[in-house]
Amino acid sequence: MHAHTRTHTNLVIEMVELRNDLFSEMIGLFEPKERTIRMWVDEAFEAFKSLFSSNDDFIKYINSIKNPKDAELLIKIGGFYLVAKKYQKESFIKLIMIVSVVEKIANKEMEFQEFYDWIEDQDNQIKELLSKAKTIDTNGFKEIIRVLKENYFQEFGSRRNVFAFFKEHLTQEDKIKLIRSIKTRRTDTVRGYSERMCKAVVGKIATIQEAQRKGFVVEEHFVPYCYDWSQCYFDYGQCSPDYGCLLKDDNSLLDNTIKKVVDDLYQMRSDFVHNATITPLNERDVVFTLGTSGRKPVLIELTVENLEDMFEKALKHYFDQLT
């Protein structure tokens, strides 16, 4: 790619030229195609300002993406995300729009189909399943539907795809931050205790009741899914990863726990779409917000700003792999 140079008095400005293979099938109707694409790029940059130092830096990044279709996807996502970030005030709508972006990335090569539309094109698969079935009774029919449903969700499993995106592209730090900010589990906690810190002083404590007898305060709190009273230092309603964190020690536990949290977020999205139920994210400078995920109460410390920051870094990590 080349750079255009504009000269002003005692000032030389080099403008990075945008690649010329984008939106090849597009036709400029009311204004030149190039001007429209450039406007889209400017909007995408506005959405992703936190990731790039300048518009030219963003254009260089677009130019570095190997497949022009992937570069187009980044630009399209940027325009959509800008609406969520800049013009949409309601946090639950922003959450839904971010989930929508992740779903688009997961299904970038195909348009989403409902199950009953998808199954219309599965004649060969249905014939194969019927040929393998020993009998077509009620149980046999249910088994065929189960297999078809599983195959459908392999292609269009939105919840599964959203989890895969966050698992693959969130940093470990952001995964832990997200896990600590969505709490649906309410249980007894032991204040100011963890075995790794206190064992040398008070000896090994086997139960919460024993901890209480030894003078530790036991209180019921909402906690992260991964909370273990004997291993996690807990004080003032919060666990303290700086004093040791099971998630940092065990990648399998981290993945299993982030899946539960992403499931809760996705359920909040589904509650709004399908059940007319609103659970907003937390507000800045507010300790927490109470809502529901499915039928579960949920304590939310995650703010829109937190979610946007995590999502933008994850999105950048995804596209970095395409350069």
Last residue of a domain, one of 110, 130, 156: 156
Order the strands of the 296-300 sheet from edge to edge. Answer: 182-183, 296-300, 289-293
286, 310: one domain? yes
Residue 93 falls within a domain, yes or no? Answer: no
For residues 92 and 272, is the Cβ–Cβ distance under 8 A?
Answer: yes
pTM: 0.80
List the one residue out of 62, 60, 87 whose CA is nearest residue 74: 62
Residue 280 falls within a domain, yes or no? Answer: yes
For residues 83 and 97, is the Cβ–Cβ distance under 8 A?
Answer: yes
176, 255: one domain? yes
Residue 31 falls within a domain, yes or no? Answer: yes
Residue 270 falls within a domain, yes or no? Answer: yes
Intra-chain end-to-end CA distance of the chain, in Å: 15
315, 203: one domain? yes
Domain assignment of residue 37, given as a range: 3-87
178, 315: one domain? yes
Distance CA 175, CA 291 (A): 21
Residue 60 falls within a domain, yes or no? Answer: yes
Distance CA 22, CA 72 (A): 6
Distance CA 174, CA 306 (A): 9
What's the pLDDT at 107?
A: 74
List the one residue out of 84, 17, 14, 13 whose CA is nearest residue 44: 84
Last residue of a domain, one of 42, 64, 87: 87
Split into its structural domains, the chain has a count of: 3
For residues 235 and 270, is the Cβ–Cβ distance under 8 A?
Answer: no
171, 35: one domain? no
For residues 261 and 307, is the Cβ–Cβ distance under 8 A?
Answer: no
What's the pLDDT at 5?
A: 55
258, 207: one domain? yes
169, 152: one domain? no
Residue 284 falls within a domain, yes or no? Answer: yes
3-state secondary structure of 323: coil
What's the pLDDT at 112?
A: 61
What's the pLDDT at 202?
A: 83
What's the pLDDT at 242?
A: 84
What's the pLDDT at 198?
A: 83
182, 149: one domain? no
Q: Which residues does 233 contact at the CB level (< 8 Å), separation at least 6?
A: 192, 193, 194, 197, 239, 240, 243, 244
Distance CA 321, CA 51 (A): 15
Residue 37 falls within a domain, yes or no? Answer: yes
Distance CA 204, CA 52 (A): 51
Distance CA 55, CA 128 (A): 53
What's the pLDDT at 291?
A: 92
11, 76: one domain? yes
Last residue of a domain, one of 141, 156, 171: 156
168, 300: one domain? yes
Residue 97 falls within a domain, yes or no? Answer: no
303, 204: one domain? yes
In order of 29, 38, 236, the CA distances from 33 in angstroms are 8, 9, 58
CB atoms within 10 A of CB 254: 20
Per-10-residue mean pLDDT for the chain, 323 residues long? 54 76 82 90 96 96 96 96 91 92 77 72 80 79 80 67 91 95 94 85 88 92 94 89 90 94 91 88 86 92 94 96 95
151, 166: one domain? no
What's the pLDDT at 306?
A: 94
